[in-house]
A = this chain, B = another copy of it.
Amino acid sequence: MTASLAAGPSCPVPLVSNDRVQLGHGSGGKMSAALLRDRFLVHLDNPVLAALGDAAVVPVEAGEIAISTDTFVVSPIEFPGGTIGSLAVHGTLNDLALMGARPRYLTAGFILEEGLPFDILDRVVADMARAARAANVAVVTGDTKVVERGKADGLYVNTTGIGVLDPTLKPLPDAVRPGDVLIVSGPLAQHGMAIMAAREGLAFEAEITSDSACLVPLVDLLRGEIGASVRAMRDPTRGGMASALNEIASASGVGVRLDEAALLIPDPVAAACEMLGLDPLYVANEGVLAAFVSPGRAADVLARLRSHPLGANARIAGAAVGDHPRMVVLHTKLGSRRVVDMLPGDQLPRIC
């Protein structure tokens, strides 16, 4: 800690720290303005945000917009593969994209804990800015509050996203019909196990890295003429693939067959799940797309997804069926079947 107010020779103890968040930074006064300038605008700068109004003013075309809000409380706030900053951008942009929308604007509302070191805050905000820039979306307005030590856990952040609906791609959770093919874009359970390993300080043979990624470029490959064949899409985050498929099965009134042999679970992730007694189907993903596609176009959708690095491991992993409506059934590698229900509570808290 160093002194930010000049401390005379008779006052050898620093009056206030200038390397950590203080309660005064949440006051709406000069310290708030300095925090905004030095910790946020340096990273997130753009003309709309820089106007610093109580609201951002941005153009939209007539039509439908999609609005998504997510609050992130992940612990720890830095982990292999990302930080709470990039996770918050990816999470909200993915929610918009998987509704078929083209993300346009983001907001960021921070709750900072008194005492949070500025170097951690800087890394989180820079990571948020990088993720937003990569997705070509601007953080157009924000808010910062500070709470006393112990009243938060480093920092929490809410991101709200606004996107413009695309008439060529309008997936709906209740639009799936028996025969539709389930395509999963990549390996499962990486995000949740990366957080778990980082939180518990577990050392596995290989470091597990979060799959946190912006799915917008992958979704963009499904726009246009092929879009009509995409019946439903989800990113299986909190609650994992099991919860996402149950939600779609329930909304569409169909059964879902899930083929275990087709699911890709990286070896270190599978080993970590086994060691901790966790089922990877319930572990959060932050860069995986699950889509139900009309059977005639499934090969085409698969080829498009595989053309992008994020979808290089895409595969057909099951189908919607007329049997066992509203139920997800796993066909195991050993040939047995088991119902994959939603969990009542959580395997892993504070994963996002």
A interface residues (Cβ-Cβ under 8 A, vs B): 22-33, 53-73, 95-96, 98-99, 101, 105, 107-111, 140-148, 150-153, 156, 158, 160-163, 165, 173, 234-235, 237-240, 243, 282, 284, 342-347, 349-350, 352
Contact = CB atoms under 8 A, between A and B. Distances in A.
Given A55-B161, A56-B66, A56-B68, 19 more contacts: A23-B349, A24-B346, A26-B349, A26-B350, A27-B238, A29-B342, A29-B345, A31-B344, A54-B68, A55-B67, A55-B163, A57-B66, A58-B67, A69-B108, A69-B160, A70-B109, A71-B145, A145-B156, A145-B350
A238 B243 CA distance: 41
A187 to B, nearest CB: 20
B71 A143 contact: yes
A243 B29 contact: yes
A27 B67 contact: no
A311 to B, nearest CB: 20
B67 A99 contact: no
Nearest first, the 3 A-B pairs at minimum CB distance are A24-B345, A27-B346, A28-B239
Given A29-B243, A31-B344, A162-B67, A53 B143 contact: no
A73 B23 contact: no
Contact of A27 (B69, B151, B343): B343
A152 B343 CA distance: 25
25 contacts: A23-B349, A27-B238, A28-B238, A28-B240, A29-B243, A29-B343, A29-B345, A30-B343, A54-B68, A54-B98, A54-B235, A55-B66, A55-B68, A55-B101, A55-B163, A60-B60, A67-B140, A68-B141, A69-B160, A71-B109, A73-B111, A73-B145, A73-B151, A107-B160, A145-B156
Copies of this chain, count: 2
Contacts of A105: 67
A91 to B, nearest CB: 10
A217 to B, nearest CB: 18
A143 B69 contact: yes
Contacts of A59: 63-65
Given A71-B109, A109-B160, A239 B29 contact: yes
A194 to B, nearest CB: 17
Contact of A60 (B22, B26, B63, B140): B63
B153 A151 contact: yes
Contacts of A282: 29
A215 B270 CA distance: 55
A65 to B, nearest CB: 5
B111 A156 contact: yes
A34 to B, nearest CB: 9
Nearest to A146: B349
A205 to B, nearest CB: 28
A142 B237 CA distance: 16
Given A162-B162, A243-B29, A67 B111 contact: no
A76 B282 CA distance: 36
Given A24-B345, A73-B147, A346-B27, A67 B107 contact: yes
Contacts of A158: 69, 71, 109, 143, 158, 160
A249 to B, nearest CB: 14
A86 B105 CA distance: 26
Given A27-B238, A99-B53, A141 B109 contact: no
